[in-house]
Amino acid sequence: MHFSGLRVIKEALTGHRGWKPLWRDPEPKPAYDFVIVGGGGHGLATAFYLAKTFGQAKVAVLEKGWLGSGNIGRNTTIIRSNYLLPGNEPFYEFSMKLWETLEQETNFNSMVSQRGIINLYHSDAQRDAYRRRGNAMLLAGADAQLLGPEELRARLPYLNFDNARFPIKGGLLQARAGTARHDGVAWGYARGADMRGVDILQNCEVTGFRIEGGAVRGVETTRGYIGAGKVGVAVAGSSSRVMQMAGMRLPIESHVLQAFVSEGLKPLIDTVITFGAGHFYISQSDKGGLVFGGDIDGYNSYAQRGNLPVVEDVAEGGMALMPMIGRARLLRSWGGIMDMSMDGSPIIDATPVDGLYLNAGWCYGGFKATPASGYAFAHLLATGRPHETARAYRLDRFARGHLIDEKGAGAQPNLH
């Protein structure tokens, strides 16, 4: 089933009776060449690129709940590549380029909207740091533009520029950044993978790994044993729980991150704005809700819900930045579980168990990385070698001292 404008018109004229489910609901086969554990954004993207780019047919995605029920449905939908470090920026720019062609690639409307992102700065030192970051972005082939106070005032007149404590001096703009429809991303990848023969097995929780002679042979699941040539685990949030079944301890703590959406408002914020003096970021969804968030709650949690102190903290950040939103009513808040890695950067690597691969540690930045994470993980699974943009994301970098401390803000050392 190919989606097109013509198809929409045809279905409209014939009572929308021709639409079919986007993917099959197959029974598990006894064995696959590749088993991907985790049917979220990263797992589905991995399966999609394995099938499409690397020509692998015998692939299964195992999801313990329903497709896309984890962090791909709980994020704040921001896509960007405004990183600094050489281990990170080329990877996120690769991801940004994949976002730009995602809808053509998957033939699915993921509502990718390049409305830009503006990181505000509040001091001369912060301006210099953003200038350096912008230059690093330009060197990696991304786009960046430093905005002064006048340009920013013309563009976002409603900001609290003259805040006595955190005056707004300007911002770093990445015009190609923006937002995407998070569920649409999962559905597009799932449909694209399914069309190419990938079995998506929902309600199929992995309960153990079968490891013989130091190599993985398959996985035990709630729907029976499934043999596997290679197993890729992409279950950020639950990575420690799953990898524990393979006898591994990870450099990861699971933390809860809350996000919020207001009632629907008329068009108000036409970009993504981040506060540089606290942790607050905001955009407006196509339905009109203000989508915003802030810091993790700061303690280990698998509860998918947070507590009120952080709600207060996020609201204070918003009020310091743009007091006009104070009268907007909150519609919903929710929590997602983050793999907080010890240096704040992800892991895409082989493990000490032959044939078992790990994609984890996305902290609260996994959504924007979805396409590149899937591509790089598929590359690793299919070829056994890391993708050229993901070479720094090694599991053993902590022991070797090659940390990627982009912000120095993983679970440790308590810089949140």
Instruction: Give the residues lining the site for another protein (CB under 8 A).
Output: 238, 240-241, 249-254, 298-303, 307, 309, 342, 398-399, 411-412, 414
Q: What is the DSSP letter of 326?
A: G
Structure tokens at 296: 């993790």
The DSSP result for 192-204, as a single string, is HHHHTT-EEE-S-
Q: With 0-12 CB in 10 A as exposed, 13-18 as middle and 19+ as buried, what is 391?
A: middle
How near is the Cβ of 293 to another protein at its closest, in Å? 19
Nearer to another protein, 105 or 253 (CB): 253
Residues 135, 144: Cα–Cα separation, whole Å: 8
How near is the Cβ of 412 to another protein at its closest, in Å? 7
Q: Taken in order 368, 346, 48, 187, is the CA torsion positive or negative?
A: negative
Nearer to another protein, 241 or 385 (CB): 241
How near is the Cβ of 134 to another protein at its closest, in Å? 32
Report the Cα 393 to chain-centroid distance in Å: 16
Cβ distance 199 to 29 under 8 Å? yes
Sequence-distant (6+) residues with CB within 8 A of 253 are: 240, 300, 340, 411
Cβ distance 219 to 208 under 8 Å? yes
The alpha helices in 156-223, defined as continuous H runs, are 182-195
Report the Cα 230 to chain-centroid distance in Å: 24
How near is the Cβ of 359 to another protein at its closest, in Å? 17
How near is the Cβ of 336 to another protein at its closest, in Å? 14
Residue whose C-alpha is closest to residue 327's, from 338, 336, 317, 318: 318
How near is the Cβ of 215 to another protein at its closest, in Å? 23
Residue whose C-alpha is closest to residue 279's, from 310, 315, 307, 317: 317
For the chain, how many residues are written?
Answer: 416
Phi, psi angles (nearest 5°) of residue 98: -65, -35
How near is the Cβ of 208 to another protein at its closest, in Å? 16
How near is the Cβ of 302 to another protein at its closest, in Å? 4
How near is the Cβ of 71 to another protein at its closest, in Å? 16
Cβ distance 231 to 216 under 8 Å? yes
Nearer to another protein, 285 or 304 (CB): 304
Nearer to another protein, 86 or 413 (CB): 413
Nearer to another protein, 184 or 294 (CB): 294
Nearer to another protein, 252 or 369 (CB): 252
Nearer to another protein, 66 or 302 (CB): 302
A 10 A CB-CB count for 413 gives 11
Nearer to another protein, 171 or 306 (CB): 306
Residues 186, 39: Cα–Cα separation, whole Å: 9
Nearer to another protein, 180 or 411 (CB): 411
